[in-house]
Structure 1
Amino acid sequence: MAALDGIRVLDLTHGVAGPYATMLLADLGCDVLKVEMPGRGDASRYMNVSTRFESQIPRVGGDYFMSINRNKRSVTLDLKSERGADLARHLAGKVDLVVQNFRPGVVERLGLGVEDLMAQNPALIYASLSAYGKVGPLAGQPGMDVAIQARSGVMSITGDASSSDPIKPGVSLADFSGGAHLVIATLAALVQRGVTGKGTHVEISLLDATMSMLSNYCVAVRDGHAEITPMGSGHPQLAPFEAVRTSDGYLVIAPGTNSLFRELCRVLERTELTEDERFSSNPKRVRNRRQLIDELEIEFTKRTMAEWLVTLERERIPCAPVNTLREAYDEPQLVADGLLREVVHPELGAISQLGAPYLMGGELLPIRMPPPMLGEHTAQVLTELLDLTGDQLQELAEADVISVLEDLPHHA
């Protein structure tokens, strides 16, 4: 049995952060009911870079949607209509958890706010995710991942040391950290409910979640008056801890302790560097980083990256190649530990998925279902939970309150 088997979630989220959070909950065993707009669906269905899936939007969805929505059931409801919102309220009475990421004030206008839903279901856990939260000068303002990264300062410390251009990391840091923190808080709320029998309101802002990822700089900047600037692959508080040149490319080295630094110098046959006053402690190595890297690269450029990788791994000195994404997804380690998996989609066949990055009882969490097609489970869920008849479903579909999979255009 999965850890959260029997927990049902009404997922009112869209985009990236919310759906990522509810996918993690689904991976843990929750029955996630993903509510989408009839005929259109979640905005992430349109987020796509590979031409293979363009003709399948929105019925199947783009590659981004398919990466963060497995193990869910898709239910289409027009929440802007009174009947659609009423159906959502009835579903909220049948679930343990509601997750929403509308801007503050939107769900209240729809009659789906925390007070509305907890009044009818006092044991409900209601989780809200927004860009900036509901208090402060930015409350209610929209905010996407790149805007959050800019405001948080992440973009000011990312990039090459020789450039002042703002650089966004290649990962959606704000969205994924916000989603992960929402899951952590929600799991705590479930434990608390097990003790008190009462639900609660969990609130996460993307800005706060992103700032929490910068915790290691807070004391340095606010109390130590340090200036943190872009350092390429380097680390402001550790050295050496970055990519170094070899004869045919780059290799990342991370000897993050004095003992590992001594081991590295031994392997390089440069033990005199450990006696050099400039490099005798980590704070000194940080201050003299450029001189240290220059000395190390004299040795690293004598051999290839692959040769150094074998040598350093044999000596258990932390290191890694600088992979492309394609190389990373083909890493033997990912294949060996089962993170990279496949699920069979009813229209696409086998598609790749990165599974949940943890084991439970030594076992991988199962991928029970592929990412759902738009409205794939509307009839199933409304019949199962609200006892709607076929005639009632047909009437709702004709009124555009719902759509079912058959209503959408099919692309061969």
Structure 2
Amino acid sequence: MSNPRRAPLDGVRVLDLSRVLAGPFCTQTLADLGADVIKVERPGTGDDTRAWGPPYLKDAQGNDTSESAYYISTNRNKRSIAVDLATPEGSAIVRELASQCDVLLENFKVGGLKQYGLDYDSLKDEMPRLIYCSLTGFGQTGPFANRPGYDFMIQGMGGLMSITGERDGLPGAGPQKAGVAVTDVFTGLYGVIAILGALRERDHSGLGQYIDLALLDCHVAMLSNQNLNYMTSGQAPQRAGNAHQNVVPYQVFKTADGFMILAVGNDSQFRAFCKVAGQEQWANDERFAKNSVRIINRQVLVPLIEQIMLERKRDDWIAALEAVGVPCGPIQTIDQVFDHPQVKARELWQNIPHPLAGTSPTTANPIRFSATPVQYRRPAPMLGEHTEEILREFGLKKD
């Protein structure tokens, strides 16, 4: 029996003029929520990430296709139209598409679309209901507005690398970027939030608006408690390796046969840990009894724990600690992640039918609706796959 309820964004049309990661991640999430996302790409080359391989998706014969793993990670549930914005015909097509869409998202450099008449100021009077979202490195204002911005450099400029990596004076010390382009991902998610907010406001006012979203702004915002550590103390947080700045013990420890994470979040959990470790006196020691003093005496407590942790195997520690409610866990490789029973139960590996490969793998959207679950309707589109279909649908080409 079909579901009588519509997807949350069913009926919303999004014109996606973005490429690489932040913008496509944003529009993929909107598409997962039911929006019709039309991805506008350059003829011949398309989104830059199509060529960001190997690895590439393989066809039914096991040969590489033109679809890189990077590209397919952020473009499912979309349709692709190949249009050359640099031509009068191409810019006119995109303008007409915009006039029939609810949202336009772009990540061109500041002012980059003005020459084509596709900037917000050129569209807003003709299209008063259009929600127009610009993603740039530094935003539309300020002394850096015209500079390009990329995830890696923003991780450095924005402070994340100053608090990521091993502590100074230890082997391997130095700034370290995150293993995923977290600035792009967070900016994409902030983009989703902003667009949803603008759509909701339009329900009341009937009007669209402009959204100015910057990688640097989003990056600084996501530093969260680390910002407040500085704002309230006047002291800039430093790299702490795998240790937590505000909670002890909350870090990686070596066991008899490997590494694990111990994440003691409160004093009762610390007491439970001490009991499992056979060191109940720690819980009553005035240097360790409360988290506030454990932080002060971190350099005393952590070596004691390090010595104890070496006495048992990782899985033995995890079983004993989980039994008394102490948060802990292994450090897994990504193949181990997808083999984990919880990940399997949550079906985080999905497959979508694909015209070349048979099926295309994708990571499940983590949003779980009880009545309108996310549907994996389309694989990441091939370049220009839906050009003719979209042109006819929007009245731009007759059969």
Q: Spell out the pairing of 1:30-69 with structure 2 (5 A cutoff).
A: 30-50=35-55, 60-69=66-75
In the alignment, structure 1 residue 99 sits paired with structure 2 residue 105: yes
2:8 to 3, 6, 20: 3
Residue 19 of structure 2: aligned partner:
14
Kindly indicate whether the alpha-carbon contact (under 8 Å) linking 2:101 and 2:130 is maintained by their aligned counterparts in 1.
Answer: yes
Which residue in 2 is equivalent to 1:111?
117
State the one-letter code of the partner of 2:31: A
One-letter code aligned to 1:50: P
Question: Could you say which residue in structure 2 is the equivalent of 1:324?
Answer: 333
Provide the C-alpha distance between the structure 1 equivalents of 2:99 and 2:56, rounded to a whole number of angstroms: 41
On the 8 A contact 2:110/2:140 being kept in 1, the answer is yes
Structure 2 residue aligned with 1:193, among 202, 211, 231?
202
Q: 220, 225, 234: which one pairs with 1:211?
A: 220
2-structure distance, mates of 1:111, 1:8: 20
CA contact (8 A) 2:140 2:212 kept: no
Report the Cα offset of residue 362 of structure 1: 5.6
Separation in 1, partners of 2:249, 2:318: 16
SS at match of 1:386: coil
- 2:300 is aligned with 1:291: yes
**Distance change in 2, residues 1:380/1:213 (3 Å):** same
Of 151, 157, 160, the residue aligned with 2:157 is 151
Corresponding residue of 1:140: 146
1:363 Cα offset (Å): 5.6
> Which amino acid in the other structure matches residue 101 of structure 2?
V
Partner of 2:3: none
Residue 311 of structure 1 corresponds to 320
Give 1:164 deviation, angstroms: 4.5
Percent identity over paired residues:
37
The residue identity in structure 2 corresponding to 1:154 is L
Q: Which residue of structure 2 aligns with residue 349 of structure 1?
A: 358
Correspondence 1:236 to 2:241? no
Say whether the 8 Å CA contact 1:60–1:372 is kept in structure 2.
no
- The two structures, once aligned, show a CA RMSD in angstroms of 1.7
Is the 2:58–2:357 Cα contact (8 Å) retained in structure 1?
A: no
Q: Which residue of 2 aligns with 1:127?
A: 133
Q: Distance in 2 between matches of 1:359 and 1:81?
A: 43
**For residue 409 of structure 1, what is the aligned residue in structure 2?**
none
SS in 1 for 2:352: strand
Give the TM-score of the pair, scaled to structure 2: 0.94
- Deviation for aligned residue 1:77: 0.5
- SS of the residue aligned with 2:322? helix
Match of 1:25 in 2: 30
- State the 1:297 CA deviation: 2.4
CA distance in structure 1 between the partners assigned to 2:373 and 2:260 by the alignment: 31
- Is the CA contact (8 Å cut-off) linking 2:288 and 2:297 kept in structure 1? yes
Do the aligned partners of residues 145 and 31 (structure 1) sit closer, same or farther apart at CA in structure 2, a change above 3 Å counting?
Answer: same
Tell me what 1:397 maps to.
Answer: none
Q: Distance in 1 between matches of 2:302 and 2:385?
A: 56
Task: Could you tell me which runs of 5 or more consecutive residues in structure 1 were left unpaired when the two chains were aligned.
Answer: 391-412
Number of positions where the alignment pairs a residue of Structure 1 with one of Structure 2: 389
**Does the 8 Å contact 2:248/2:298 carry over to 1?**
yes
Q: Which runs of 5+ in 2 are unaligned?
A: 1-5
Please report the TM-score for the alignment, with normalisation by the length of structure 1.
Answer: 0.91
